[in-house]
Structure 1
Amino acid sequence: MVALSGGKSAASAVGDRHSRFIWLLLAFAGPTLSGCMPATTHMASADPADPAAKVAPIGYRSTIAPYTSLRPATPAPWRGRNEAVTPQPKQER
């Protein structure tokens, strides 16, 4: 009985290695072989070389459009600004 169970585990270990090899082969074969395939795309629109083909209008948006210069800025009185943000002293009871 012990020899029989040892034989089953040895056979299943060989089968596991074989199935792992198959899965590994399939995992790498797909992406590898897909690089050799020609890129086929369906062109539903007009020929890109046709100068009379209609295209979407080009729009321009400035990346700095909302920018407004803040220089030269007159300095504010720093003492008043500093005292406005300092914590008030706690009153003792």
Structure 2
Amino acid sequence: MLTLSGAKSAAASAARGRHFSFHWPLLAAIALALSGCMPAATQLAGADPADPATKVAPVGYRPTVAPYTSLRPATPAPWRDRNDAVTPQPKQDR
């Protein structure tokens, strides 16, 4: 996307008769260098996390498979009884 905008600006400046070259890598390097000059982030809210006396919420454990119960080994039911249990009942009016 940056290449496309650079190409557009180069085409626009060539159409106007001026040669204006904008170097994106140079801008990125300057921004990176200036970001090192920024002051350290101030404490936004809450206590210092490095302080051992800080109150924290208790940690709890909830397993993701808690309601799971094993169904194996299970003896298979006869297939005819299982099939008859799920088939629709025939209508009596016919």
- The TM-score, its normalising length taken from structure 1, stands at 0.48
More helix by share: 1
- The TM-score, its normalising length taken from structure 2, stands at 0.48
Larger RCO of the pair (alpha carbons < 8 Å, separation 6+): 2
